[in-house]
Structure 1
Amino acid sequence: HTVVVAKHEKDGSTMRDMLASQKDDLSSELSNTRELLSNAREVHAKELESAKKAHSDEVATLKNDLEKLRGEVDSKDGAIDSLQSQVKSMQEEHTVVVAKHEKDGSTMRDMLASQKDDLSSELSNTRELAREVHAKELESAKKAHSDEVATLKNDLEKLRGE
């Protein structure tokens, strides 16, 4: 029985030594794994911090670009508003000029029609006066001719009587 106990004690001691060795191996492996995890966490933390900074820089750049674009859009909107105002003003001026030209044209047509009527009336009066003058000249010429013929006849009678 002592042999069995001694064997069990020896086996137990061997098992304890094996378990202690395995425990040391596992503790060492656990320590190495913890160190690897710690290193991996540090690397990931640095990568994450770097990615956050890059993202923050990119967001800042995009915000800056967006502000520039907004400024350009606002400037172009202002230019468009100014051009639209100029176009509207020019259209209004054009409308006023067209209306003035139409009014001036109408006034000119009315004046020309009035002058035409006046000239037609004056021409008609001049023609009538010319007819009257011509008739008087003709009558005067006839009378002068008649008087001349009478004088010639008278002279002829005097000559015959002599």
Structure 2
Amino acid sequence: MQNAQLLNTLIISIAEGYKKIVKSVEDEAQRAQEGNESKLLFIGDGEKYEQTSQNGNASYGQSGFPLSLDPLVWENIAKKAIKAELFGTKHSISPSFTTMLQHMEDRQQGWHSGSLPVTSGIGCRLPHQVKDKEPHCVSLVKHTRGMVSQLLTDI
């Protein structure tokens, strides 16, 4: 039970962090728009390469190219990237944030249904005491999902 509560607290904190990232993207786009500035988006593979500067010294740069974008276009791309991180895409390699939430809910449901094995060293499974009521850890996960959905509605 305590693990479920701690994980739910962590998930809510992560969701609030994403919300702050979105807010900072919006604020930066507005600042650049008001300042009549463009935003730089660097497209690359993330790999660093060694290059020789004009004075012969070795330096390291990134492969790729810069794009100068209108702040609203930059904001749109940034929000799409955040949304892909949160909800995944058909091209996602790693599980998304919402997939993690679903796995957590499935795990709690499986634990209380008796379909998951008890890991050695944990002890014994204590049955849920109130038959007509959902286990607290399951309702906690569902409540967390609702809170996260509310936090992330404007992304």
Q: Which has the larger radius of gyration?
A: 1
Interval of TM-score (by shorter of Structure 1 and Structure 2): under 0.3
Instruction: Determine which structure has the larger strand proportion and give its number.
Output: 2
Instruction: Determine which structure has the larger helix proportion and give its number.
Output: 1
> Structure with the greater relative contact order (CA < 8 A, sep ≥ 6): 1 or 2?
2
- Scaled by the length of structure 1, the TM-score of the pair is 0.22
